[in-house]
Amino acid sequence: MLSSAQRASFEDDGYLAPLDLCSAEEMADVRRHIEAHVLAHKSPIASCGVRKSRHLDDTVVFRLASHPAILIVVQPLLTENLVLWRSQFFVKNPGDREIPWHHDGNFLKLDPMINVSAWIAIDAADEENSCLQFVPGSHKRAIDHVPAPDGMEFLEMADPTKFDVTEAINAPLRAGQFLLFSDRVLHHSNANTSTRRRLGLAVRYTHTGVRIDLHKTNPGQYGIVVRGSDDVGLNTYLEPPKAAI
């Protein structure tokens, strides 16, 4: 469950970290599977490629993205009818580029914009190999995005004149931990200047009262109801990949 202190911290800061999902040893087994069986080939759903929404075709990724330790804290922040609608592996090898400051509300297509993301550490993530950073409280302000300079991982970034980067906080995680963040909080990760890879899985959750049009730009990608039921009929949903049932 989410304690009242954790809920207050999420509401004040726009993110909550660190939270425990499994031991580092258990995550090592998951990592081996992901390296050998997920990131080594493309999804059968062409629009997913190698890194996107592999919870749709791989039972281990689905179990990770719908892990009870995550759902029990996300559910009270959304509703009882919880939808896992997207996931993405963020692989940062040594030397890989900076991901600019942004909030996800600028990029995600939901109506209305209601999203909580979990970022699961498959490798340990620390300051050296570019853990996520947050500007606490930035979700309470409207911050526009502007074109990002060359050399950044994204085409747009939060307007740097609208926030104070010295307020940024590192959110290190050991492998097997995760963090939660809102669709409005500014976050970022530096270039990976270490000799260690940093692999995380970002998972997006919303609820059944939100229209999800992802399939229009990404054919075959639909949400999965992971808690409760669809009481509204706004969206098409998929079943979990077979062996996970």
Residue type, 53: S
Whichever of 122 and 210 has its CB closer to ligand AKG, that residue is 122
- According to the binding rule CB under 6 A, does residue 214 interact with ligand AKG? no
81 vs 200 by CB, closer to ligand AKG: 200
Least separation in angstroms between CB 242 and ligand AKG: 27
With binding defined as CB under 6 A, does residue 119 bind ligand AKG?
Answer: yes
Binding mask 128-147 for ligand AKG (x = CB under 6 A): ----x---------------
How many other C-beta atoms can be found within 10 angstroms of the C-beta atom of residue 77? 18
Tokens of 24: 């580092």
Residue choice 54, 145, 187, 207 for contact with ligand AKG (CB under 6 A) = 187
- Beta-carbon neighbour count of residue 157 at 10 Å? 21
Question: 212-224: buried (b, 16+ CB within 10 Å) or exposed (e) per residue?
Answer: bebeeebebbbbb
Task: Please report how close the Cβ of residue 42 comes to ligand AKG at its closest, in angstroms.
Answer: 21
Q: What are phi and psi of 177, to 5 degrees?
A: -105, 165
Cis peptide bond N-terminal to 112, omega within 30: yes
Binding site residues, ligand AKG, CB under 6 A = 90, 99, 104, 117, 119, 132, 187, 189, 200, 202
